[in-house]
Amino acid sequence: MSRQPIDELVERQRTEPEAVLKERLERLAKTIELKTTDRVPFFFNSCSHALSRYYKMSEVVFNYEIFKRAAVKFVEDFPLDAFMIAPGVESTTLTMGLAIVNEYPELVSYYSPWITGPMHDILRDKYTRWPGREVGPYAPPQFYASKFMEAEEYDKLIENPTEFILKVIVPRGTENLSDLGSAKYVATITRLILERQKVSEVLDKTLAEVRARGVPTITPGYCKAPLDCIGDLLRHITSVLVDLHRCPDKVKLATEAILPLALKYAEATTPPQSPLPPLPRLLFIPLHLNDMLPPKLYNEFYWPTLKKIIVEMYSKGVRSYLLCEGDHSPHVNTILELPKGWGIAHFERPKNFIKDVWEKLKGHTVVMGGIPSTLLIGGTPEKIEEYVKNLLREVGPEPGFILSTGVAEIDPTTPAENLKALLNTLFKYGEHRR
């Protein structure tokens, strides 16, 4: 097979990584500013599942050295324009971070939104399931929302969210923090912080090595829509959906009570300066209940507080990056209420990516996504090339498009030649034609 653009880029990022890094940063920064650039960028965001193509999943999330090796190998094999990687999934630490941020914003970095395997062992949290622990060694770590709050407890949450979360929710959701004020409780917090320091060191090294391969690392702040905080961290998803019918006023008051904490958490976790200029400061907001809500409920209970976070952070120079799970197309028009250039909307599976999303938002919002993960898993290189070529043709010359998989993951069973076909097609046909 003749030498392909992907081969040249793999070699260039090895021989002149600094130049390639600079090109990629400029490409992504311009795209985020909705300006024309040399070609469409490919940005991949992963919770580490993609890395288990090299090692057992349980090793990737329980052994930091293996995590680092796998992350570096991934960008050596697949030359990404930007890489965002978390070595775990959301858990108790996010709940705790939201609770303490009002009084101790400077300590929130110790309470990362996600936990790693060893942090799960320390906490014995009930939010997550881990490979080699609760599920098989090849399955990815999973967030499993449970119910830690009853409907009758909304008043307590509304009255003092910090106290309610720390004294009621954290003990219920975390086995080793269940006995508030006990020696075990203090020991668990101490171990957690020590472990978090280890994770930070490894993560910093990993990201530096990825950048040394010419690949920009995206390290945004983190936040959730207040209704998702209730659904994912406190009440459970199905319970909060029922609450919207049975006690709507309380749910609304609870989202308003959580909003200031969510906003402060966003500010506290977002780096004060851009870690990689010319990229702007970014804030990651994964949406969860969005796809499940009819527009009437979305517009009343979900969007108002989420919108406030995005607009407030935008006024501080921070661009939000929304990961819109499921089919967000019924709610796309609300995005147009935001100021032009507010940030990135990553769509998992709108019914019609071009018609429902791109055509409505282009020129206003950076749109990300477009590739079904299932096509990568089960398709052929030829099918993928045809799909990507067609997608790029339909997107056209308008700037502000970032190619990515719909869901923020690439399954480890995805054949390497399929992923390479995706990138190769982008490198061949992704230039902006004006």
Partner 1 sequence: MVLREDFVNALLELDERKTIDATKKRLEAGEDPVEILNDLKYVAEKIGEKYERGEFFVADLVMAGEILKEITDLVKPKLDELGKVRKTIGKFVIGTVEGDIHDIGKNIVVMMAGVAGFDVIDLGVDVPPQKFVEAIKQYNPDIVGMSGLLTFAIDSMKKTVDAIEEAGLRDKVKIIIGGGRVDQYAKEYTGADAWTLSAAEGVRIMLRWIDEKQGGVNI
With b for 16 or more beta-carbon neighbours within 10 A and e for fewer, the 326-349 pattern comes to bbbbbbbebbeebeebbbbbbbbb
Report the SS3 class of residue 142: strand
416 binds partner 1 (CB under 8 A): no
151 binds partner 1 (CB under 8 A): no
- 36, 142, 178, 299: which one contacts partner 1 (CB under 8 A)? 142
Q: Round to whole Å and give the CA distance between 71 and 333.
A: 37
Contacts of 390 (CB under 8 A, 6+ apart): none
Q: Tell me which stretch binds partner 1 (CB under 8 A): 28-36, 72-80, 81-89, 233-241.
A: 233-241
409 binds partner 1 (CB under 8 A): yes
CA distances from 329 to 285, 350, 396 (A): 17, 5, 20
In this structure, are residues 221 and 285 in contact, taking their beta carbons and an 8 Å threshold? no
- Single out the residue of 195, 174, 150 nearest to residue 182, CA to CA: 174
Report the SS3 class of residue 175: helix
242 binds partner 1 (CB under 8 A): yes
Chain positions 256 to 295 lying near partner 1, rule: CB under 8 A, are 289, 291-294
Nearest distance, CB of residue 189 and partner 1, angstroms: 27
In this structure, are residues 370 and 406 in contact, taking their beta carbons and an 8 Å threshold? yes
Phi/psi for 84 (5° steps) reads -120, 125
411 binds partner 1 (CB under 8 A): yes
335 binds partner 1 (CB under 8 A): no
- 49, 120, 224, 264: which one contacts partner 1 (CB under 8 A)? 49
HEC letters along 209-258: HHHCCCCCECCCEECCCHHHHHHHHHHCHHHHHHHHHHCHHHHHHHHHHH
125 binds partner 1 (CB under 8 A): no
Please identify which residue in the block is written with the tokens 């978090």.
196
248 binds partner 1 (CB under 8 A): no
Please identify which residue in the block is written with the tokens 């829509």.
225
Q: Tell me which stretch binds partner 1 (CB under 8 A): 34-42, 167-175, 243-251, 337-345.
A: 243-251
- 26, 36, 55, 135: which one contacts partner 1 (CB under 8 A)? 135
Q: Round to whole Å and give the CA distance between 212 and 272.
A: 23
Return the number of the residue (137 or 171) whose C-beta is nearest partner 1: 137
Nearest distance, CB of residue 412 and partner 1, angstroms: 8
Q: Tell me which stretch binds partner 1 (CB under 8 A): 63-71, 135-143, 172-180, 357-365.
A: 135-143
Return the number of the residue (82 or 375) whose C-beta is nearest partner 1: 375
Chain positions 299 to 328 lying near partner 1, rule: CB under 8 A, are 325-327
- 332, 407, 419, 421: which one contacts partner 1 (CB under 8 A)? 407
Residues of this chain that interact with partner 1 (CB under 8 A) are 49, 129, 134-136, 138-140, 142, 144, 237-238, 241-242, 244-246, 289, 291-294, 297, 325-327, 330, 348-349, 372-375, 377-379, 407, 409-411, 413
